[in-house]
């Protein structure tokens, strides 16, 4: 979220499917003496028919079906992976993929819970640990992501991702010196990584150091694996610096026309206030495939 607080970054705008009696004929009695009733003959009661279980509920999806599911929208993916996890609760891939889909739906507590279930059975699964951290960072609860990320970095000491996200978590926790050290460690493990460069750039932008942020983002955008998020972060920074023509080109390349127009309108509205920390953006800004000013949650 964009804010004037120098320790946080602004954002322009950016279902889960859970989961025979004995016959007793009480004899009636009439007035007066009656012969003792003889026992009723035994009656055989057939068991009630059970509801048929759909065949697709009995077997996990084939690998090709799982690959196809990843091309679905987050809501459909959440339903698919919920079914897979219900069939086999020990399926780590299903739990992790479910967590990702829920996070993309902004259902952060559920995403955290799905990944936590994986950890209960697979305590050293780095991807599941990372998903717990991503859910908490996405909810701007970075403090609670620090311990999982440190655990992930111990389990995978050569993986840059825990350190990059640790930088974000520490920044959200108002621990800038430690955040900077984490970003440096991530870059040492993966030099010129665009996700790390982007996160480091937004760290500088939050402090009002836009020149440093722009330089880092231009390095990041030059990489072939740079994402929409990286390009939109650059568009944000250069737009706030008054370079609206270049910002518009970047924005319109990636975003739908109505979203691009709204983001550009915002940039034009803050031109008199250029300088200092990234300004706050109204919460009513439209959603977008990328939310400029936000970290790369990779």
Written as tens digits, the pLDDT of the chain (298 aa) is 333 344 333 333 332 222 233 323 333 333 444 344 444 444 333 444 444 445 555 689 999 999 999 999 999 999 999 999 999 999 999 999 999 999 999 999 999 999 999 999 999 999 999 999 999 999 999 999 999 999 999 999 999 999 999 999 999 999 999 999 999 999 999 999 999 999 999 999 999 999 999 999 999 999 999 999 999 999 999 999 999 999 999 999 999 999 999 999 989 988 865 444 454 333 333 444 555 667 788 7
Is residue 271 assigned to a domain? yes
What pLDDT is stored for residue 128 in this prediction? Answer: 98
> What are the two backbone dihedrals, phi and then psi, of residue 282, each rounded to the nearest 5 degrees?
-60, 140
Q: What is the DSSP letter of 35?
A: P
Domain that residue 200 falls in: 192-298
Q: Decide: 254 and 289 in contact? Cβ < 8 Å.
A: yes
Is residue 197 assigned to a domain? yes
Is residue 8 assigned to a domain? no
Is residue 267 assigned to a domain? yes
Is residue 236 assigned to a domain? yes
Neighbouring residues of 165: CB distance < 8 A, sequence distance ≥ 6 = 130, 133, 134, 137, 145, 149, 295, 297, 298
What pLDDT is stored for residue 203 in this prediction? Answer: 95
Is residue 15 assigned to a domain? no
Which single residue is written with the structure tokens 């610096």? 241
Number of domains into which the chain is organized: 1
Report the SS3 class of residue 72: coil
What pLDDT is stored for residue 24 in this prediction? Answer: 34
Is residue 263 assigned to a domain? yes
Q: Decide: 200 and 216 in contact? Cβ < 8 Å.
A: yes
Q: How far apart are CA 232 and CA 11, in angstroms?
A: 10
CATH code, domain with 254 = 1.25.40
Q: Decide: 136 and 109 in contact? Cβ < 8 Å.
A: no
Neighbouring residues of 33: CB distance < 8 A, sequence distance ≥ 6 = none
Alpha helices in 122-209 (DSSP H): 126-138, 146-155, 160-172, 176-189, 194-206
Buried b (16+ CB within 10 A) or exposed e, 72-82: eeeeebbbbbb
What pLDDT is stored for residue 59 in this prediction? Answer: 86
What pLDDT is stored for residue 53 in this prediction? Answer: 43
Distance of alpha carbon 87 from the chain centroid: 23
Is residue 294 assigned to a domain? yes
Six-digit token string for 17 = 């499917």
């Amino acid at each position: 979220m964009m804010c004037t607080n120098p320790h946080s970054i602004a954002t322009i705008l950016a279902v889960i499917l859970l989961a025979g009696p004995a016959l007793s004929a009480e004899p009636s009695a009439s007035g007066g003496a009656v012969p003792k009733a003889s026992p009723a003959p035994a009656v055989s009661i057939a068991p009630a028919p059970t509801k048929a279980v759909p065949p697709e509920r009995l077997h996990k999806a084939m690998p090709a079906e799982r690959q196809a599911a990843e091309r679905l929208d987050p809501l459909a993916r959440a339903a698919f992976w919920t079914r897979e996890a219900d069939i086999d609760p020990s399926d780590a891939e299903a739990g992790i993929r479910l967590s990702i889909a829920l996070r993309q739906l902004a259902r952060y507590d559920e995403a955290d819970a799905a990944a936590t279930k994986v950890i209960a059975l697979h305590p050293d699964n780095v991807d599941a640990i990372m998903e717990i951290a991503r859910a908490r960072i996405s909810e701007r609860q970075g403090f609670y992501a620090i311990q999982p990320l440190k655990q992930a970095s111990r389990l995978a000491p050569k993986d840059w991702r825990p350190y990059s996200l640790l930088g974000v978590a520490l920044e959200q926790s108002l621990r800038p010196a430690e955040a900077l050290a984490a970003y440096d460690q991530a870059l040492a493990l993966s030099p010129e990584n665009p996700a790390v460069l982007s996160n480091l750039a937004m760290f500088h932008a939050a402090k009002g150091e836009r020149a440093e942020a722009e330089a880092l983002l231009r390095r990041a955008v030059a990489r072939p694996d740079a994402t929409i998020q990286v390009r939109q972060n650059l568009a944000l920074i250069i737009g706030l610096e008054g370079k609206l023509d270049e910002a518009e080109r970047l924005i319109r390349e990636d975003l739908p026309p109505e979203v691009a127009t709204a983001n550009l309108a915002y940039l034009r509205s803050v031109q008199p206030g250029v300088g200092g920390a990234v300004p706050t953006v109204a919460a009513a800004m439209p959603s977008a495939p990328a939310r400029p000013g936000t970290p790369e949650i990779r």
